[in-house]
């Protein structure tokens, strides 16, 4: 195993992710917890010092235990981690003086090439990502320089004798394109075989959940989305019937979705599942409402009330399980208290655990979306389920601009099912981040057979995206669009016109409300 000492960088989890990609098992521990006793107990084969926001020149700033340098394992220091190493091993670090570097930089190699840099500098220089205010002004005894950038004369340093490596930039981020190779070289040097798998992760998490929960009960809000489903299946594997899932059916789900979720979890997985059919309540409260934010607020509030009502029937529950992923954790940290305006009040159950006096179980907190999918596959969830497009908490309500009626929802469900069927048939589903139909609050005139029609218009939406933050419309062929529009208009009673939404995000959003 490999120990990552976390000095508070925003991107420490990315180091862990890179290592998991190399099939190396690692654990991240905050520097405060890493004493020498801890290190001896864990007995890591290698250690990585993460970056961090502090300055080693400040008294009381984070350090590694001094004896770790005598423990005899390879150490890699990143950014603040480099500075800690230099400082603790007898070099010098200085603040500011115009040598701060943020963003892209180019590193050139020294004459001598070391194993850590195998596969590096195939071109003249390597692009790296810097983010530091302080800089090393004198390297520690035993170290040599193996790469420099204009503002970082000690961009890559190493003490080959002791297997210590220290770099000023962040090899874990996307903007250091060859960064993964550096980690690969480091773990190889440290003697890792790269034989750790998602299966092992599953076992570890099961153990961890058992330890955390003991013989207490857990409730879990199951939405039918990938994250909550994987979390539920994993927790169920760990504690079986100590887990009860609550599936809130707000009447705003897609065609056949509620049955699918209930069948899968109740019948296939044998989970205790409360199917809270609250359609009447939600649709009743939404009746006559057309303002997007009002609709979202109503749904968010009712969701919490309903969830709580059903959760209260489970006696002795002490934990609430959530499918929080790592990107959700970073977003909520970096945006909290920030001056950003509310574009859309996202629907979530924030505040619920405090309100109900529950502790949280969040087994996916360290993972990224594609890793959750891999874990889901490992747990035997069907691929058709794992690869599903994201679906928003407020469901079809935000795909039905203006007032929501049962009639419109039924029409929308039919059209959406045909659209998705078309996309699957043409083998396009996995190339698209999200696709759906929105039913528009206008009726238009048409002619079918020999008669006049006066029915709803709908808009098809399909976007590509990496994270939902930005998006572009999907370039369907004209044939595909024509064929799909024909099918929808012919097969769905109530729609007589079909448009394709070609707005990118920004300036548009993915959903219509
Ligand atoms: P927008 O429409 O803001 O959507 O571009 C970005 C992504 O977020 C999803 N979305 C939501 N997901 N609760 C959710 O869980 C919400 O309230 C919500 N609103 C939008 C949207 O489907 C897209 O994937």
When computed from its CA atoms, the radius of gyration of the chain, rounded to whole angstroms, is 27
Residue 191: Cβ-neighbour burial (10 angstroms; 0-12, 13-18, 19+)? exposed
β-pairing verdict for 317-321 and 272-277: unpaired
**In the beta sheet, which residues pair with residue 46?**
2
Alpha helices per DSSP H over 116-173: none
Residue with CA closest to ligand 1 atom 9: 392
CATH class of the 198-386 domain in this structure: alpha beta
Residue 70 annotated as lining a ligand binding site: no
Report the candidate in 505, 218, 271, 227 with the shortest Cα–Cα distance to residue 392.
227
Confidence band for 351, pLDDT divided at 50, 70 and 90: low
Percentage of residues in the chain having pLDDT higher than 90 = 78
Query: CB of 509 closer than 6 A to ligand 1?
Result: yes
Answer yes or no: 135 catalytic: no
As a whole-number percent, the residues of the chain with pLDDT over 70 amount to 95
pLDDT of residue 23: 93
The hierarchical CATH code for the domain 2-189 is 3.40.50.880
Asked if pLDDT for residue 348 goes beyond 70, the answer is no
Q: Is 226 known as a binding-site position?
A: yes
Give me the catalytic one of 170, 236, 275, 310: 170
pLDDT of residue 367: 87
Residue 342 has pLDDT above 60, yes or no: no
Q: Which CATH number fits domain 405-500: 3.40.50.1980, 3.30.160.70, 3.30.70.270, 3.30.300.10?
A: 3.30.300.10
352 pLDDT above the threshold of 70 = no
344 in ligand 1 pocket by Cβ < 6 Å? yes
Q: State the Cα–Cα distance between residues 272 and 315, nearest whole angstrom.
A: 14
Q: Is 229 annotated as a binding residue?
A: yes
Q: Where are the domains of the chain?
A: 2-189, 198-386, 405-500
Check if 79 is active-site.
yes
**ipTM of the modeled complex:** 0.98
Query: 297: CA distance to ligand 1 center in Å?
Result: 14
437 - beta bridge partners?
Answer: 460
Task: Confirm whether 2-189 and 198-386 share one CATH topology.
Answer: yes
**Would you call 52 exposed, middle or buried from its count of C-beta atoms within 10 A (0-12, 13-18, 19+)?**
buried
Active site residue 346: no
Q: Is 300 in the pocket of ligand 1 (CB under 6 A)?
A: no
367 φ/ψ sector (left φ>0, alpha ψ -120 to 50, else beta): beta
Cα of 31 from ligand 1 centre, angstroms: 36
Active-site residue identified among 79, 220, 458, 498: 79
Write down the residue that tokens 């448009």 correspond to. 499
């Amino acid at each position: 195993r490999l120990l990552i000492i976390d000095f508070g960088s925003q991107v420490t989890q990315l180091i862990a992710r890179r290592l998991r990609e190399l099939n190396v098992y690692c654990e991240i521990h905050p520097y405060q917890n890493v004493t020498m006793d801890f290190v001896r107990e864990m007995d890591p084969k290698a250690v990585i010092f993460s970056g961090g926001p502090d300055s080693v020149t400040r008294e009381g700033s984070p350090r590694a235990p001094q004896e770790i340098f005598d423990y005899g394992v390879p150490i890699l220091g990143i950014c603040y981690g480099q500075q800690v190493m230099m400082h603790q091993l007898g070099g010098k670090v200085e603040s500011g003086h115009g040598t701060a570097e943020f963003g892209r930089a180019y590193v050139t190699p020294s004459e001598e090439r070391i194993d850590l840099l195998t596969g590096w500098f195939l071109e003249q220089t390597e692009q790296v990502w810097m983010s530091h205010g302080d800089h090393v002004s004198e390297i520690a005894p035993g170290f040599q320089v193996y790469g420099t950038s204009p503002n970082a004369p000690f961009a890559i340093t190493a003490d080959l004798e002791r297997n210590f490596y220290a770099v000023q930039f962040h090899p874990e981020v996307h903007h250091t394109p060859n960064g993964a190779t550096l980690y690969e070289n480091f773990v190889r040097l440290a003697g890792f075989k790269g034989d750790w798998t998602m299966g092992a992760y599953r076992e570890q998490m099961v153990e961890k959940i058992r330890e955390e929960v003991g013989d207490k009960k857990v409730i879990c809000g199951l939405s039918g989305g990938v994250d909550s489903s994987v979390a539920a299946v994993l927790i169920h594997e760990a504690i079986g019937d100590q887990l009860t899932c609550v599936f809130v059916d707000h009447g705003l789900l897609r065609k056949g979705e509620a049955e699918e979720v209930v069948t899968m979890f109740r019948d296939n997985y044998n989970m205790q599942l409360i199917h809270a059919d609250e359609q009447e309540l939600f649709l009743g409260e939404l009746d006559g409402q057309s303002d997007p934010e009002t609709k979202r607020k109503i749904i968010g509030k009712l969701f919490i009330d309903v969830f709580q009502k059903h959760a209260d029937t489970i006696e002795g529950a002490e934990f609430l399980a959530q499918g929080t992923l790592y990107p959700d954790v970073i977003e909520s940290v970096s945006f909290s208290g920030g001056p950003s305006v509310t574009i859309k009040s996202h629907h979530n159950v924030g505040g619920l655990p405090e309100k109900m006096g529950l502790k949280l179980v969040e087994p996916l907190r360290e993972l990224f979306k594609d890793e959750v999918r891999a874990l889901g596959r490992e747990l035997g969830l069907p691929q058709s389920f794992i690869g599903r497009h994201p679906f928003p908490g407020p469901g079809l309500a935000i795909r039905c601009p203006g007032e929501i009626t049962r009639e419109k929802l039924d029409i929308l469900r039919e059209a959406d099912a045909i659209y998705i069927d078309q996309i699957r048939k043409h083998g396009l589903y996995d190339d698209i981040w999200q696709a759906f139909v929105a039913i528009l609050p206008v009726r238009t005139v048409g002619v079918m057979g020999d008669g006049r029609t006066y029915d709803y218009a709908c808009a098809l939406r399909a976007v590509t995206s990496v994270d939902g933050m930005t998006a572009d419309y999907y370039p369907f062929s004209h044939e595909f669009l024509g064929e799909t529009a024909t099918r929808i208009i012919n097969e769905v009673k109530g729609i007589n016109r079909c448009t394709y939404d070609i707005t990118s995000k920004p300036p548009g959003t993915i959903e219509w409300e």
